[in-house]
């Protein structure tokens, strides 16, 4: 990596999956110097596992061919997806969704995947345990000054905000308008747990959790949904239950919305009372064997659409740009699309002066897709919790509405988007495009 005075200095704020994927993409360009900052003492991501479709795996490989192997080294399990109705008159009926079927996804533990992604990154680029106090614009287009909590400073030409839903970089781009900066409640909550395979099999049965036939199973209930699959080479089971509250409180858009939805064990069981499918009841028993006193689910938040993800030299990616409901794996699919596009554009920078054009091109291509994903993910949430108006738990209508819902992400022509972004950047710079 270049240390020459002409090198373009990139700071990535936030070391989650979006930041790490971007870092991997930028590593191949010797005219960039990169630092990634993370306030936590280590790069950790304890969140639920992630599912990568074959298209998402292709995008990972386009960022860096080695990333596909990172999935395997992280114990990813190739699964077949199955979605069924868990309550109401059509209980047990399967819902077929285009593109989701046999061997369609690799499920991986995010902590294991993040560790693999960062394994080969030179340590001088990674700065865990480093809190940024503020970011200041330097005069005369000299870039940005990062001031750290210990008072030290460092200059950069471009800053990437990858600090997630509750990070501070969104404010750098969108200013003080709380309704744009703060995420808002969606009324959905989610509770992920991970347990060893044998323990899960005791309560959920061996047939539903068979490592020789790994499946990603979703049960659509009355206001809830239950999803389970295998991770860590089939040694662990991940369960995520989601629910939809029927009434949500008005928010003022200024204060932070609630992070947690609390249930007593009885309230939690009651939320699933119309779901009598034995494996689902076993799943609830399993969750209540972990949460014996109080069940704490995460409130799922969403940002409202914003006029831009960029300034002249700051760019938001991942959840800091667009927190959305996580259904259909939209969040992570978009994060890696963004990592590919942004690394391609920054990799083509002929000089510092071209940074605003690269960021504007990124915004023009990526923001509309994220807005579409946010909308579709919200619609999917209502469908898979049986709460879509006029559809409920009717299997035929669910099938009709879910069948094509995922195609926008599954069939993305990422090369077309990459070419479009490059062409916009070149037009803004007034140069002729030659790509690839
Ligand atoms: C219950 C649940 C289930 C989900 N399931 C799925 C799923 O199945 N599929 C899917 O695609 N997505 C899912 N998601 C969403 C997914 O977790 C996020 O989209 C993804 O983690 C976003 O990655 P990110 O790197 O943008 O942000 P994050 O993973 O939040 O990373 C942000 C990083 O920035 C750091 N940071 C925070 N503040 C600062 C600061 N001030 N300065 C510097 N760094 C900072 C954080 O410590 C963190 O390391 C789920 C989310 C939830 C809550």
pLDDT at residue 5 greater than cutoff 60: no
Q: State residue 332 phi and psi, 5-degree precision.
A: -75, -30
Q: Is the CB of 128 under 6 A from ligand 1?
A: no
CA of 332, closest atom in ligand 1: 11
The answer to whether the predicted template modeling score (pTM) of the entire model surpasses 0.85 is yes
The CA distance from 367 to 407, in Å, is 18
Q: Is the CB of 302 under 6 A from ligand 1?
A: no
pLDDT value of position 250:
62
Residue 405 lies in a domain: yes
pLDDT tens-place string over residues 290-319? 999 999 999 999 999 999 999 999 999 999
Q: State residue 335 phi and psi, 5-degree precision.
A: -60, -40
| 207 Cα–ligand 1 center, Å | 32
Residues in the chain: 436
> What single DSSP character describes residue 100?
B
pLDDT at residue 136 greater than cutoff 50: yes
| 135 Cα–ligand 1 center, Å | 22
Residue 238: helix, strand or coil by DSSP? strand
Token duo for residue 78: 């190739």
Nearest CA to ligand 1 atom 6: 326
DSSP 315-380: EE-THHHH----GGGHHHHHHHHHHHHHHHHHHT-SSGGGHHHHHHHHHHHHHHHHHHHHHHHHHH
| 367 Cα–ligand 1 center, Å | 18
Mean pLDDT value across residues 407-430: 91
Nearest CA to ligand 1 atom 48: 16
Average pLDDT over the chain, rounded to an integer: 93
Q: Is the CB of 408 under 6 A from ligand 1?
A: no
Mean pLDDT value across residues 90-100: 88
Higher pLDDT, 432 or 213: 213
Neighbouring CB atoms inside 10 A of 299's CB total 18
pLDDT at residue 359 greater than cutoff 70: yes
Ligand 1 pocket mutation pick from 163, 193, 329 by most atoms within 8 angstroms of CB: 163
pLDDT tens-place string over residues 315-334? 999 999 999 999 878 888 99
Q: Is the CB of 48 under 6 A from ligand 1?
A: yes
Q: Is the CB of 167 under 6 A from ligand 1?
A: yes
Residue 375 lies in a domain: yes
Nearest CA to ligand 1 atom 9: 329
pLDDT at residue 433 greater than cutoff 80: no
Ligand 1 pocket mutation pick from 13, 16, 296 by most atoms within 8 angstroms of CB: 16
| CA-wise closest residue to 38 among 165, 131, 121 | 131
- Full residue range of the structural domain in which residue 160 is found: 8-51+110-183+304-429
pLDDT tens-place string over residues 174-205? 999 999 999 999 999 999 999 999 999 999 99
Q: Is the CB of 47 under 6 A from ligand 1?
A: yes
| 371 Cα–ligand 1 center, Å | 18
pLDDT at residue 278 greater than cutoff 90: yes
CA of 317, closest atom in ligand 1: 26
CATH code (residue 319): 3.50.50.60
pLDDT at residue 249 greater than cutoff 90: no
pLDDT at residue 338 greater than cutoff 80: yes
Residue 316 lies in a domain: yes
Residue 205 lies in a domain: no
Q: Is the CB of 161 under 6 A from ligand 1?
A: no
Q: State residue 61 phi and psi, 5-degree precision.
A: -65, -30
Q: Is the CB of 162 under 6 A from ligand 1?
A: yes
Indicate the number of domains in the chain.
1
pLDDT at residue 3 greater than cutoff 60: no
Residue 242 lies in a domain: no
pLDDT value of position 46:
75
Mean pLDDT value across residues 55-79: 95
User: 13, 161 in Cβ contact below 8 A?
Assistant: yes
Residue 414: helix, strand or coil by DSSP? helix
pLDDT value of position 1:
43
| 19 Cα–ligand 1 center, Å | 10
Q: Is the CB of 40 under 6 A from ligand 1?
A: yes
The CA distance from 177 to 162, in Å, is 20
The CA distance from 295 to 34, in Å, is 41
Residue 166 lies in a domain: yes
Q: Is the CB of 334 under 6 A from ligand 1?
A: no
| 396 Cα–ligand 1 center, Å | 34
Residue 424 lies in a domain: yes
pLDDT value of position 436:
72
E strands of 39-157, at which residues?
Answer: 50-53, 77-85, 94-95, 105-108, 126-128, 132-137, 144-148, 153-156
pLDDT at residue 247 greater than cutoff 80: no
pLDDT at residue 409 greater than cutoff 90: no
Neighbouring CB atoms inside 10 A of 117's CB total 25
pLDDT at residue 394 greater than cutoff 60: yes
Q: What is the dihedral of CA 329, 330, 333, 338, to 10 degrees?
A: -160
Residue 202 lies in a domain: no
The CA distance from 235 to 251, in Å, is 42
């Amino acid at each position: 990596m270049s240390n020459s005075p002409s090198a373009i200095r990139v700071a990535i704020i936030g070391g989650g999956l979006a930041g790490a994927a971007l870092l991997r993409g930028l590593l191949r360009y010797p005219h960039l110097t990169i630092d990634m900052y993370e306030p936590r003492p280590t790069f950790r991501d304890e969140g639920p596992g992630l599912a990568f479709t074959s298209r998402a795996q292709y995008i990972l490989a386009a960022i860096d061919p080695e990333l596909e192997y990172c999935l395997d080294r992280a114990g990813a399990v190739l699964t077949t997806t199955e979605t069924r109705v868990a309550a109401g008159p059509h209980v047990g009926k399967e819902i077929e969704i285009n593109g989701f079927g046999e061997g369609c996804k690799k499920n991986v533990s995010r902590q294991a995947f993040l560790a693999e992604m960062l394994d080969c990154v030179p340590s001088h680029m990674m700065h865990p345990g480093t809190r940024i106090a503020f970011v200041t614009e330097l005069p005369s287009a000299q870039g940005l000054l990062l001031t750290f909590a210990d008072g030290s400073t460092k200059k950069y030409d471009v800053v990437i905000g990858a600090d997630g839903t509750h990070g501070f970089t969104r404010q750098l781009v969108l200013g003080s308008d709380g309704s744009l900066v703060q995420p808002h409640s969606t009324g959905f909550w989610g509770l992920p747990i991970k347990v060893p395979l044998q323990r899960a099999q005791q309560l959920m049965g061996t047939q539903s959790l068979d490592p020789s036939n790994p499946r990603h199973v979703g049960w659509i209930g009355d206001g809830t949904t239950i999803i389970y699959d295998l991770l860590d080479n089939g040694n662990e089971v991940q369960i995520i239950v989601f629910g939809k509250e029927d009434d949500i409180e008005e928010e003022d858009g200024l204060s932070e919305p609630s992070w947690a939805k609390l249930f007593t064990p009885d309230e939690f069981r009651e939320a699933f009372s119309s779901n009598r499918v034995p494996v689902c009841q076993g799943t609830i028993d399993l969750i209540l064997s972990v949460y014996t006193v109080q069940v704490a689910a995460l409130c799922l938040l969403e940002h409202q659409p914003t006029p831009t993800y960029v300034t002249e030299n700051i760019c938001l990616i991942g959840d800091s740009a667009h927190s959305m409901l996580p259904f259909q794996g939209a969040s992570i699919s978009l994060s890696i699309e963004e990592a590919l596009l942004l690394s391609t554009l920054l990799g083509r920078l002929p000089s510092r002066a071209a940074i605003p054009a690269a960021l504007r091109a990124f915004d023009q291509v990526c923001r509309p897709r994220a807005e579409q994903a946010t909308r579709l993910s919200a619609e999917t949430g209502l469908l898979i919790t049986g709460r879509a108006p006029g559809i409920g738990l009717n299997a035929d209508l669910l099938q009709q509405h879910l069948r094509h819902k995922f195609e926008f992400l599954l069939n993305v022509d990422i090369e077309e988007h990459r070419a479009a972004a490059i062409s916009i950047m070149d037009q803004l710079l007034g140069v002729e495009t030659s790509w690839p």
